Structures are given as structure tokens and as C-alpha cells.
Amino acid sequence: MTAVDATLDDADLLLVGATDWLDRFADGLATETDATVHRRDGVDGALQFVDGRSPACIVTALSLPNAPAVDLIEYLRSETAAPPVVVATDSGDEETASGLLGAGATDYVAIGDDVDAAIEDLSARTERAVSAARSRRTRRERARQFDAMFDDDRTATWVLAPDGHLARLNEAARGMLESPTDDLLGEPFWTLPWWSDSEEPNDDVRRLVETALDGSFANAVVARSSLTDDSTVVDLSVRPVSNDRDELVSVVVEGVDVTDRIDLERDLRRSEELHRVTLNNMTDTVLMTDEDGEYTYVCPNVHFIFGYTAEELRDRVPIDELLGDPLFDRDELAADGVLKNIEVTATDKAGNEHTLLVNVREVSIQDGTLLYSCRDITKRKQREEALATLQETARDFLYAQTHQEIAQHVVDDTPGVLDLDASAVFLFDPDSNQLRPSAYSAALSELHGPLPDVPVSEDTLPAFSFVEDEALFFDDVHRSARLANEATDIRSAAFIPLGDHGVFLVGSDSVDAFDDVTRELTDLLAATAEAALDRVTRESRLREQDRTLQRKNDQLTALNRINETIREIDQALVQAETRDAVDHTVCELLTDDDRFAFAWVGTVDRATGTVTPRAWDGAEQGYLDSRTFTVDETGGEPVGRTAAAGETTTVSNVAAGLRDEPWRTDALARDYLSVLSIPLVYNDLTHGVLTVYADSRAAFDDTARAVLSELGETIASALSALERKNALLSTSMTRVEFDIADDAFVLSRLARAADCTISYRGGVQQTTEGSFVFARFEDASVSAVVEAADDLVAIEGVQTVSDDGASGVVRLRLSQPFLALELADHGAVFREATTTPETTTLVVDVPNGIDVRTVTQLVRETFSGVELRSRQTLENVDERDLYATFLDEVTDRQLEVAQTAYFSGFFESPRDSSGQAVAETLDISSTAFYRHVRTVERKLFAMLFEEGTRPPRPGGVR
């Protein structure tokens, strides 16, 4: 046999038959290639092999034991992804070859007299079959990839012939046109209605396609014209497709509608322009610095307050000098994120002092980390200092409780303060975005007429004053372009914004009615009104906060009551001896709380799809007999939904959807107005469903749901604990045996990887470092087992305990909890596990009192491909109490040392391993090793020889 193509080096080959030439062929493959060769004698063995894996090629003799090779070929041809089959025979003719090829064989070789030449030919044909099969798989995969891209509903795709005419299109492309598209096939792509509603071709699309026809990739954004006002922009990409001879066979065109993206970019540019305009015209000044105080941004309107240009401020005035140092506590800002309304005095370029309100906020904008928002309140400050002259008016404001009352006080007191009779107050209505005339004097009505609502979006005097927060004084208001009512008899007028609350209007029928004193008093009156309005707003917020606090206090009281009930239930669960006691105690204690009218616990029967009541308490009133509770996730009684989905179900208002679900009628007839149903689940195993009904709506808020859901977990844990306790007291058990076809079991993976038999030998321990088990291997070297274990992610460490060449014991450290621990949580014992590369068998002992279906469910939820092989009852099993008591007597470390010594052959005669060797394996001293072994022996002998003097104590599997 000569060297063959490197194709076979990584191939997985199956040789079927028992002939000399097949042996020589296998030897040649092993010598000249890196192929993995498997041997089977007959059809049955070959079929078992291909049932679990797919070799790259099968080479078989024509004549096989029990059945001919044609049976194997016909079976393989019934599979969708059968491997190629090459048939060889000692002698043959054309009729034989034709029959085999007709049956589905890939190739046929007659060995004849010249065996070496025939084997050489067989090697070449095998390599050819493997290569052809791989090529077919590659083509299928590429075809699937193309179909996936072609069927993408987000991208329109067209396939063009080599002349640029349309050959094929997908549904996304069809959806871009309202008219039928089938009659467009065969037309030049650049003339199609996707690009124009006219008869003229699209030159941009033509050039794009011509680039692809020349063998190059091309991309362009094409505007799609339309007879309507709507237009779209499509991002087109064209890609040439060539065959193995580099001949162009088609062109693929992909199009994505990017109209929204183009519109978004345009809107973003407009938004940026609006942002610049806003910053240039706002009265507040915004500054931004880094942590070192260097300016990273200066608002263009900085001269409004400080008189400097942005460049002058950057070059001449540091932030500390501008606003004062220290302006704020850096730690306080770090804790709150923002500091608002810091009042400072700043000096502008001309030397004038300004009173500012500064807000400081932590940001992360480019290089800036601190943002300062500065508002000049100099005039407001001056007005506040003059409030002493308005004490009488301010005293009236103190007793006002609403904005309307304050507005009326302002109008009533204006004549006495300003000696002007015409006045009005507009209050801002944020819901309608309007200024509404809330109070006005009779004199104003005579001079002006009825006052309309003023939208703040209109360019009128009240709206402008409010939006710009600017006081407007006019010696003659008829000179203002913003005057809405030119027929008004008002001549002198003032519009004073009342903060965020509205606008104060005062006027006169004479010109130049506002001297300096009147202007100052007008400002002071408006400031007083604004302060009163602010007070009412604050008090309203405080009242709302009080109501919120009261609601929270009510919730806290309810939570305390629930917690008290939960504590009573927890105490009762500790004392409960049976499941019935647990169920009835929970129902009784829940209904003792007058908020809950009725509670019951049901058992979920998956076989019948129903939930059967097993305990209840409270105002049941025949509800449980009124209907059948079915397991249904889509609707119906909450207990059915919880049983189906395994999640808490809440119905806050039973009366909602009364006619949609019949159960609600029965519930309302018994004053059940809200329902909470909780799954009783522990370690993924269901112990039933707890359902609680209340005679008030929304009785189960978020806190109640969370607390009662935790209660469900506690109840399920208590029920599991009772099962484990009863299991330990049982003297009979059921032994169940499972066959598992799932590589998720770590020992199955190890047996397959090491190609040997692995059996579980006990010693399960759960520590902070992981789970530890002892496993015995057979028909393999210890190095092969260790190497295979090192390659498995589920095994974090392996330690050799004993080795006699072809078998031994290893101790495995697992990354995930072992099944035996989960079974032990439910009172079952993981007795045996035997795994080979092909099969896995588990044996579990289930004590009397534990539902075997629960254990079976756990195994089937852990693994797939689980088959119950056998089930038998074992009576009078007393050794469990003895074993549990023994485990209760020794520590985990003592048990680990004794098990390691046992599996190392320390107790054999003669010893397979010395105490020193075992101690080194455990990384302890010899003295510590012998101390642990003697302690375990003493405790074991004490149990065996002194059992009559001390009854066994209940324990648990560790």
C-alpha cells in the first residue's frame, strides 16, 4: 500500500468484515495515514456503530456473517446523511458491481489475485469517496447559507444572470413594489421600476451592475424616485459569483432601505443647530470644566452675566476666581451627583456685582467632568430686600392655600400698593401649555375687555414674559409689536413673570405711569406673590409626601403582620412530623390573618393534568368541590397556571374579565376578590401548590408576593426534609435501575473519552473546592484515564488512588454538584453507576415513604434519553441506619482518608500501597494518616460490637 492523499489523515473510517486483505488494508491505513480506523465483523456491529456516530467512509467486504453487505447499504441509504460505502470482494464481475452501485454503494473494488494492487486501488477509491462526500457537504452548507441570506426579510436580494438581467428575487424585494414582479424576470436590472417610475433606465444602477459583471464588488447609495411625494434611499451592494473555473455565473445584488437613517442624520443636524441657537439666546450661563478647573466648554452667552467673551473667560478668569473658592464640597457632590441653587456673588468684567444661583452637576461629556449652570438673580435679591414695605400684603398671602387665592389677593391689593386699578394674574396650566387669567380687576375689564387664554407658544406679551422669564415695562404698550389687542385702552403696562407659575399684569390708561418707585413696588409685589406661590407648591408637595409616608407606614404595618405569620409558620414547620401536619398548619396560620379568607394546598398530578386538594382552611364554602382544577398555563384558575408554569400567579382583581373565565364567578360568589398561587418547589422538585384568597382587591402587593413566595420555598424545603427523615427511618426500599443515553453524565463522557469502563465507587463529598467522587476504571491504563479526565471541562482535577496496569481507582474533583448529592437531598441513595463507551447504567435506592416518581423525575430532568430498566422492592434493609450512624460518627476528613486508603490497597495483604504512599497522595503526614485510620477503625468496631448498648442515631448521606 502506498501513501494516499492527506484527506484520510483526519478521517474516521469503519472497516466491516473479517478477511485477510481487510486486515492488510487496516494495517496500511495505520502506517501511512493518521486516520481513525474502527473494525466491525458484521452488519449488526456496523449498524450499532453508525447509530451513535457518522464515519467519513465505510469500507466493507461483500460477504459478511449473518447478512450480506447489500443489507448494510440499503439501511444506510434510508438515512438522510449516510456516509459513503466502498465495497470490496475477493472476486467479482460487472453484474455484481452494477447491483451494488444500484443499491447505493459509492464504489466497488474486486481484490483479485494481485492483492497489493487491489489494496492500493481500494485506498485511492476510499480517499476519493471521502473527498467527494466532503465536497457534497460543503456545497450543501454553502447552499443553506445562501438560502438563509436570500430569505432574510430585512434585506432585498436580486440574482442577475451574466448579462445583467433579473433571474431571481426574494420576498423582501417583492415587498418594495406594490405591482406584480413575476413579469419583470429577464429584464435588465437598471430598467426595473425599483429605481424609477419612468421608462428611462437608471444610469447609476447600470454602472453598479457593470462593475460587478467585470468581476468586482461595488457599493452605492441610490435614491429611488417616485411619482408620489414619498421617496426612498437604498444602499445597494453588488457581488459577482464565479464557478470553479473562475467563470461568472451570476451577480447578487443586496439592497437595504436607509431612508430612515438619512432622515435621522438630517434631523440630527437640525437639532444641533437648534441647540446652538438655544444656547446663544438663553439667559442662564453654562460652563464646564475638568477636575483641574480647566474650561472644556463655555456657553456663547457668557457675556450676559459676566461681560466677558468666551475667549476672554478661557484666557483670563479661572473658574475658582469667577465663582469663588471653595464653591462647594467635592465629597458632597460625589455623594449626591448634583448640588442645586448655590448662591454666590460674582463680579463681572465692568466690576459690577451679581447674585447668582449656581447648580453644579457631575457629568462625563468629552473631557468635562463638572457642569456649572449660573442664573443671575440680582434683581430678585433686591426685590426680596424690599419686601419689608409689603408686610401687610405678605401677611394675607400667608393664609392662602391655593394658587387661585394668591392670584385674587394680588389683584385685590394692587390698588393699595401701586395706586393702579387695572391688574390681572395669569397662572400657567402645564396640561394645556397656556396662561389662564385666574384673577382680574373690574377696571382691567373696562379698559381691555375679556381676557383670553394665552398659549405660551404664541408671540404675545404675556407669553413672552413668561417663557423668557423677563419683566416687561412699557410707557406705551401700543408701541410693542407683540400687542395682541390693538383696540385696548391700556397705555402704560407691565408684565412681570411669577417664576414658573404665571405672569402678573398691571396697567393704566395713561402714558408713562411707571416711575422708578412704581416699577420697584411692582417688582416687589410680584416677588411676594411668586414667593407665596412657591410656598403653596412646596406645601402641596409636603402634603403629598405625607400621604406617601402614610401609605408606606400602612405597607410596613402589613409587612410586619405578614412577617409575624411567617415566623409562626416557620416555628410550626420545625415541629411538624408529617406532610399533613405541614399542609394543615400552613393553611390554618395563613387564614388566622384576617386579610386572607381561604388557603389550600394541592397536589399536582401530571398524569391526569389536574391539581387535587390535600389540605385547606378558612372560608372554603364548597369552592374546592365546585370545579376541577386543571393544569393549564394559558388561563383559568391561578392554581392551574402556577402548576403548569412553576411560577407565582397573582390575580389582583377577580372581577376583571368576569365573563372570560368561569372560575371568577365561583370565586366572587364567595367574596374572593384577589388570589395568590405559589409553587412549592425545592431543588427543582414540586411538592404541590399553595393558593391563598383574600376578600379585598389588590391584597397581594409586591412585598406580600415576595414574602409568600419565599414561604413557598420554605414549605417545600420542610416537606423535603420530612421525606429525608422518613427515608432514614424506613426498613424497606425500592431499587430502580436506569439506562441513560446522555453524555451530560460526567462518568459517561470519561468512559467514552478513555475508551474504557468506569464505575462509581462512592466517596461523594461537597466542599468549597468542588465535588469529589471515587471511580474505578477497567480495560485502560491510568495515564489514558488521567489524560481523558484532564481534557473534560466538568472534571477540574484527577488523583490516582490505585493502579494495577489495566484497572485502578481515581479520585475526581468535579466542577458541578454530583447527582448523588441531589438524590440525597430527597432521601434517595445513589447506589451504583457503571459506564462504558456505549452504555450507562444507574442504580438508585428509594426508601419507603418517598415517591419513586419524584426520583425518576429528578433523573429525567437531569439527563435525556433515560429509560427505566428495572424496579424491585427490598425488605428489612437495616444496614442503612447503621451506615448513616457511622457517617454521623466520622468527620469528612476521616472518611476521605479511610476511603483513599481502602481504594489504594492499604488494607490488602500484602499491602498494595504503604501508609507513607497514601499519606503523600493526601498531602498529609504519616502520623496524621495513621491517626485518622485508627480513629475510623475504632468507631466502626464500636458500632459493630457495642450496638446493643446504644441505639443508632438517625443521620443523612453526606
Does residue 194 carry a pLDDT above 90? no
Does residue 493 carry a pLDDT above 90? yes
Q: Which SS3 state, helix, strand or coil, does residue 721 take?
A: helix
Kind plus residue range of the DSSP H or E element containing 597: strand 596-605
Burial of 59-72, coded b for 16+ CB within 10 Å and e otherwise, reads bbbbebeeeebbbb
Write the CB contacts of 273 (distance below 8 Å, at least 6 apart in sequence).
none
φ/ψ of residue 24, rounded to 5: -65, -40
DSSP per-residue codes, 110-160: E--S-HHHHHHHHHHHHHHHHHHHHHHHHHHHHHHHHHHHHT-TTSEEEEE
Q: Predicted confidence band at 937 (pLDDT cuts at 50, 70, 90)?
A: confident
Q: Which residues pair with 733 in a beta bridge?
A: 847, 874
DSSP per-residue codes, 293-315: S-EEEE-TTTHHHH---HHHHHH
DSSP per-residue codes, 194-247: TT-SSSS--HHHHHHHHHHHTT--EEEEEEE--SSS--EEEEEEEEEEE-TTS-
Does residue 884 carry a pLDDT above 80? no
Mean per-residue pLDDT, 281-285: 73
Mean per-residue pLDDT, 270-282: 62
Write the CB contacts of 233 (distance below 8 Å, at least 6 apart in sequence).
221, 222, 223, 224, 257, 258, 259, 262
Mean per-residue pLDDT, 661-678: 89
Residues in the chain: 958
Mean per-residue pLDDT, 628-657: 86
DSSP per-residue codes, 913-946: S-HHHHHHHHTS-HHHHHHHHHHHHHHHHHHHHS
Q: Please, what sign has the CA dihedral across residues 725, 728, 731, 737?
A: positive
Tell me what pLDDT residue 162 has: 86
Q: Half-sphere exposure (CA, 13 Å, Cβ side) for 797?
A: 9
Residue whose entry in the numeric block shows the C-alpha cell 481515581: 810
Does residue 656 carry a pLDDT above 80? yes
Mean per-residue pLDDT, 401-418: 86
DSSP per-residue codes, 470-525: --EEESSGGG-TT-S-TT----EEEEEE-TTSEEEEEEESSSS---HHHHHHHHHH
Task: Give the integer Cα–Cα distance in Å for 418 and 525.
Answer: 9
Q: Which of 107-121, 479-493, 707-721 has the highest mean pLDDT?
A: 479-493
Task: Give the integer Cα–Cα distance in Å for 824 and 830.
Answer: 8
Mean per-residue pLDDT, 852-870: 83
Closest CA to 348 of 382, 394, 387, 302: 302
Amino acid at 416: G
Amino acid at 641: R
- Would strands 295-298 and 338-347 be described as parallel, antiparallel, or unpaired? unpaired
Does residue 693 carry a pLDDT above 90? yes
pTM: 0.36
381 vs 730, residue with greater confidence: 381
φ/ψ of residue 505, rounded to 5: -115, 130
**Within 10 A of 289 (CB to CB), how many other CB atoms are there?**
20
Q: Which of 364-368, 399-403, 690-694, 822-826 has the highest mean pLDDT?
A: 690-694
Does residue 613 carry a pLDDT above 70? yes
831 vs 227, residue with greater confidence: 831
Tell me what pLDDT residue 786 has: 92
Closest CA to 655 of 664, 647, 666, 642: 664
Tell me what pLDDT residue 247 has: 81
737 vs 114, residue with greater confidence: 737
Tell me what pLDDT residue 955 has: 37
Tell me what pLDDT residue 954 has: 37
In degrees to the nearest 10, what's the CA dihedral of 216, 217, 220, 224? 90
Q: In what order do the strands lie in the sheet with 166-169?
A: 166-169, 156-160, 248-257, 232-242, 218-224
Tell me what pLDDT residue 707 has: 82
Digit-coded pLDDT (tens) for 11-45: 888 898 888 888 888 888 888 888 888 898 888 88
Digit-coded pLDDT (tens) for 615-641: 899 888 888 888 888 888 777 789 888
Share of the chain above pLDDT 70, in %: 86
Kind plus residue range of the DSSP H or E element containing 440: strand 434-440
Q: Half-sphere exposure (CA, 13 Å, Cβ side) for 530?
A: 21
Crossing angle, helix 516-575 and helix 579-592, to 10 degrees?
Answer: 150
Residue whose entry in the numeric block shows the C-alpha cell 451504583: 832
302 vs 683, residue with greater confidence: 302
Q: Which of 8-17, 727-736, 898-907 has the lowest mean pLDDT?
A: 727-736
Task: Give the integer Cα–Cα distance in Å for 561 and 556.
Answer: 9
Tell me what pLDDT residue 675 has: 93
Mean per-residue pLDDT, 682-705: 84
Closest CA to 514 of 559, 558, 472, 545: 472
CB 704 within 8 A of CB 674: no
Share of the chain above pLDDT 90, in %: 14
Q: Which of 102-116, 527-541, 727-741, 765-779 has the lowest mean pLDDT?
A: 727-741
Digit-coded pLDDT (tens) for 93-149: 677 777 777 777 888 888 877 878 888 888 888 888 888 888 777 777 766 666 656
Q: Which of 187-191, 241-245, 451-455, 865-869 has the lowest mean pLDDT?
A: 241-245
Write the CB contacts of 688 (distance below 8 Å, at least 6 apart in sequence).
583, 601, 602, 603, 604, 611, 614, 680
161 vs 912, residue with greater confidence: 161
Q: Which residues pair with 368 in a beta bridge?
A: 365
- Would strands 12-16 and 57-61 be described as parallel, antiparallel, or unpaired? parallel
Tell me what pLDDT residue 435 has: 92
Tell me what pLDDT residue 386 has: 47
Q: Predicted confidence band at 577 (pLDDT cuts at 50, 70, 90)?
A: low
Q: Predicted confidence band at 433 (pLDDT cuts at 50, 70, 90)?
A: very high
Q: Which of 368-372, 400-404, 572-576 has the lowest mean pLDDT?
A: 572-576
